[in-house]
Every structure is written in structure tokens, then in C-alpha cells.
Amino acid sequence: MEQKVLENFLEFEGKTAVVTGACGGIGSAIVRKLCKNGARVACVDREEGDSFKEFAESTAMFSADVSDEESVKETIEQIKKRFGQIDILINAAGVGGMCARTEEYVFSDFKRIYEINVFGTFLMMKYVLPVMQKQQKGAIVNFGSVSGQRGYPYEIGYGSSKWAVIGMTKNAACENGKNGVRINSVSPGWVDTNMMKKTIKGYRSVVKNDCMENVNLGPMERPAKAEEIAHAVLFLCSDKASYLNGTDILVDGGKTLE
């Protein structure tokens, strides 16, 4: 009964949402929540998949590299032709990259993190914002991280990229406050996804003894489920968050309290 009430709390009937990184752990959870709440979803990922067959009538897959400007531009045009509007943009595409001390970090890996996490978020906003501005309405949610709020060892690439995303969110929110377009970000802590597993593996390659000392789960003593992050994202996209603009919502189970 509680789950049914939760699913019907946010309603997106008749709205079109674009979700990048749609086939990832958090991205796919967001897509499913949007579909269950009535949205039509343009699922954007580097590889087309069949993850959302159960929502075939309300989803469409678009293969795109968010770090490539022409790919982004062409994909947004395809989405506009298919759905006629874009009400929501969720930039969930992201990579964690390698774990290493600053002086040992490989520059090409550092650049690739920025190409996807920072430039990809920028390009999606660049080409979706004119659509929303014309409509005089829209909601954009970007992905920061607790790593983009505090310094953590061995994450100079990922952490600094998330600082940049949070900053871009605030810049764009200042520019669009008067035209009906709201722009916010979500900063998760540890989330039980493949990225978490890869990050812990990366820590082990740097810290030979006990890498788990670098994994603080916070007072709740567990990582988030992807669905728990999705709930926060959907709230920011909804009319319930109509006066939230330029904010970063921390969804970390209290991790940053310790």
C-alpha cells in the first residue's frame, strides 16, 4: 500500500523527459520511476539497449555520446521531432575514472572524466535550454556528488568534475530563473551500483592494506539504493519543487555528517 502511494505522489502525465546515462544503475531507476508516473522518456546512452521493454510505449532509445557536440545536437533534434517537446532533462551520464594520487593520475583519464561528466552536462544543457526557454517551462537536474563537496583521496578527477557540475548548475540557474526553467543538482553519497564496485576496486589498487577505511557509509551504515536517488531527482523535476532553483540536494544518508 505504501509503495502504491509513493508511486502516485508525483505525476508527469503528458511530459517528456530526457535522461542521459539511461542504462546505468541510477539512470535506469530514474527512467522506470518516470514511466510509472506517466512521463514519456527519451533514453540517451552510448549504446542502445533493451532495458526498458516493459515501458516500450512510453520510452525511446537514442544512441549518443554526450561528450560529442554533433552527437548531442543531432540527438536533441531527433527527440524534438519524436516528442515535440522537452519538459525535463536529467543528466545522469557519468564516469568515475581511475583512483590514484594526484601526481600519479593519468592525464588522458582525467580529460575523459571531464569530457563526459562536465562537457557532457554542459552540452546537454546548451541544446535543451533553448527548447525549454521557448516553452517557458522546464526542469533540469544535474548530478553532483559528495565528492564534489568535500575532498576525498584518490578522486581528483571525479571529485573535481563534480565540483564543476555543481558550479555550472548554479550559473545556469541564475540565467534562467525568470523564464520558467529551473535547474538544480543532486549529490549522492555511496550508491549500490557498478560504479561503487569499480571505485572500491580502484581504492584497492592504491591502498594495499585496508581500502575500506576510505569508504565512509555514514550513520545509516549502508549505501543508497538507486531508487532512493531517483526519488530525489523526481521531486526536483516535479511541481512540488516549483521554488527550488540553483540548489544542490545532498542525498548521502548523513555520510557528510561524520
The torsion of the CA quartet 186, 189, 195, 198, rounded to 10 degrees, works out to: 150
- The single residue of 105, 114, 127, 158 carrying the catalytic annotation is 158
Q: Which of 226, 252, 135, 227 is nearest to 182 (CA)?
A: 135
CB 227 within 8 A of CB 190: no
Catalytic residue at 158? Answer: yes
Which position has the grid cell 502504491?
4
SS3 state at 179: coil
Dig out the grid coordinates for 35 from the structure: 514511466
Q: Where are the extended beta strands (E) located within the chain?
A: 16-20, 40-45, 59-63, 88-91, 138-143, 181-188, 248-251
Catalytic residues: 158
